[in-house]
Amino acid sequence: MSQLTLTACPDADDVQIKAVSVDPSTNHIVISWTSNLSPYAYGYEFFETPGVGPADAVFDAGQTSFVLQREADTNLQIRIRAINRCDDGTIRPGRISENRRVFSSRIEQWNCARDIRIYWGNASQSIRDIAHFEIFVSIDGGTFDSVATADASQNFTTISTIGHHGQSLRIFVRAVSSDPTIYANSMADTLTLHLAPTPNFANLETVSVVNNTTVEIRTSVDVSEPWGNIYFFADNALLRTASYSDFLQNDGRFSLPRIEHAFYHFKISDTCGIVVRYSDTVAKPIRLVGNLDARTVTFSEYYGWFGSTIRYDLFEIRDGDTTQYTWRLPNLPHEFTLAETELVMNLSYFVVAYKISPTGEQIDSTRSNVISLISRTEIPVYFADAFMPSSTIPANQRFRPFFISMPNDQMRFSIFNTFGQVVFTTTDPYHIGWDGTFNNRDAQPGTYTYHFELTRGNTTTRKRGVVVLIR
């Protein structure tokens, strides 16, 4: 007769927690673990520290994850053990696993920063064999989206917050195991962003030539919230800086140096001095040149109205008369030939470009420099007989030629003492004149000689005379 051998019911297998994670929607703790492969496997018990005895249990041998219906807490230590149930109904538990706990993440924002830094705790307390970290962000209660990754050796990363002023960010960090199906989420942190405001728009409207040395730039910038400064450039050269209050006071219009062939543009900084917006376009003013001998005026295209229809008008001023004669010109850079009879006059020209709406309505305009084509007549120039630097009348305090200056004038004005020494000289038509000094000292009262030469186009006027310096 054969003997029947019975197999003893063993203790349950030792199991380990693979990950202790946080459900971001509920903030509850989610546990996953290795399986008890014993044929007597019956379930699992969970232990919490602090606490006495099992805090919870599942009685499904095939289950490998469970949600603890309580708020996540980094002080809460979680352990697990498997249990077998023998044929006679006895329970044979395995050993209790090592402690695991959730880890936390924390957001820091610095004053004036356009980004935030996310820190996280020791994630190895929650999961082993970390391959990398992923950072998830929810904006104003929306869905969580992955926005960045970090190496397994890191415990912080930085993300940009531009465009999220006033919004609430909720962030958690996910530690991803080398087994990509296993991960652990941190506890989340929430922050409402308070960033220096960024203007919603910054438009460069026009750049017009005012005179031979100056242009006017007209801008339109969002002023609903105060920003910092506006910086004006010609190509890469900074020409002027103005504040938010300056912008309001000037209604967005600013005078800048005229730089030939340069593109004008601007930048806006926030109240922290960080550049946050650039002008929507760059602009190069119209440049007008003339040739008296060839009887032509030529102008360049206006750059600044991308995608807009432009009409050009040429304006003529005859003999200094303010009555202006105009010609409507083609919608292209153009060379305009003057009539023969017009060459005997003193003529000035400038071009205006117009932005035209699809319905033909004029929306905006910008003008070129003024050029002068002068006939061969002597240029009127006047001089005083004497001057007194100590006079209370400003016009009598300096000695200078009086004439109507025109763009492209070439002038030389020099003054000599009785010994033939040059005591003053200038080639600037706009110079305010001689103040009666020589080598930074008051010159002696008496008679001085002046030489003056002015060239305008093909005409040159020369004057010589004497002036009395009175003390």
Angle, CA of 356, 359 and 365, to the nearest 5°: 15
Q: Residue 112 pLDDT more than 80?
A: no
Q: What is the pLDDT of residue 18?
A: 95
| pLDDT recorded at residue 269 | 93
Query: Residues 384-423, buried b or exposed e (16+ Cβ, 10 A)?
Result: eeebbbeeeeeeebbbbbebebbbbbebebbbbbeeeeeb
Q: Does domain 288-373 have CATH number 2.40.128?
A: no
Task: Give residue 342's pLDDT.
Answer: 44
CB-based contacts of 235, cutoff 8 Å, min separation 6 = 259, 262, 263
CA distance 12 to 32: 18
From 22, 51, 264, 244, select the one nearest 127 (Cα to Cα).
22
Beta strand extents in 344-458 (DSSP E only): 347-356, 362-367, 371-373, 386-387, 410-416, 422-426, 437-438, 441-442, 446-456
How far is it, in rounded angstroms, from Cα 37 to Cα 144? 36
Return the pLDDT at 340.
54
User: Mapping DSSP to helix (H, G, I), strand (E, B) and coil, where does residue 340 land?
Assistant: helix
Q: Is the confidence at residue 201, as pLDDT, over 90? A: yes
pLDDT category of residue 3 using cuts at 50, 70 and 90: very low
Per-residue pLDDT of 343-357, as tens digits, reads 334 678 888 988 888
The letter for the amino acid at 121 is G
**Residue 123: strand, helix, or coil:** helix
Tokens of 77: 């230590």
For the question of whether the overall pTM of this predicted structure is more than 0.85, the answer is: no
Q: Does domain 386-469 have CATH number 2.40.10?
A: no
pLDDT tens across 378-418, in order? 677 889 999 999 998 888 899 999 887 777 789 999 999 99
Could you identify the residue written with the tokens 């104003």?
140
Residue 272 has pLDDT above 90, yes or no: no
Cis peptide before 50 (omega within 30 of 0): yes
**Structure confidence by residue, pLDDT tens digits, 319-377:** 566 566 677 666 555 777 766 544 334 678 888 988 888 777 888 899 999 887 755 56
pLDDT digits (tens, 9 = 90+) for 25-76: 899 999 999 999 999 999 999 998 876 677 889 999 999 999 988 889 998 8
How would DSSP label each residue in 171-218?
EEEEEEESSTT-EEEPBPEEEE-------S-EEEEEEEEEETTEEEEE
Q: What is the pLDDT of residue 253?
A: 96
What CATH code is assigned to 202-278?
A: 2.60.40.10
Distance CA 246, CA 353 (A): 28
Task: Band the pLDDT of 298: cuts 50, 70, 90.
Answer: confident
In the prediction, which pLDDT does 332 show? 57
AA identity, residue 6: L
DSSP 124: G
Q: Which helix (H) or strand (E) holds 151?
A: strand 145-151
Say yes or no: domain 106-192 is CATH 3.90.105.10: no
Q: Could you tell me where in the chain the CATH 2.60.40.10 domains are found?
A: 17-93, 106-192, 202-278
* Predicted pLDDT of residue 186: 96
The pLDDT assigned to 215 comes to 96
Question: What is the model's pLDDT at position 6?
Answer: 47
Nearest to 328 by CA among 360, 358, 305: 360
The first and second tokens of residue 61, run together, are: 């041998």
The residues pairing with 158 across neighbouring beta strands, listed in sequence order, are: 117
Q: Which residue has the tokens 């009086």?
A: 402
Q: Coil, strand, or helix at residue 247?
A: helix
Distances 148 to 143, 156, 158 between C-alpha atoms, Å? 15, 11, 9
Cα 149 to Cα 110: distance, rounded to the nearest angstrom: 21
Going by the DSSP 8-state scheme, the letter that residue 142 receives in this structure is -
Q: How far apart are CA 377 and CA 279, in angstroms?
A: 47
Q: Say which range, 91-105, 215-229, 268-282, 348-362, has the weakest mean pLDDT.
A: 348-362
Query: Is domain 17-93 annotated with CATH 2.60.40.10?
Result: yes
Q: For residue 309, what pLDDT is reported?
A: 73
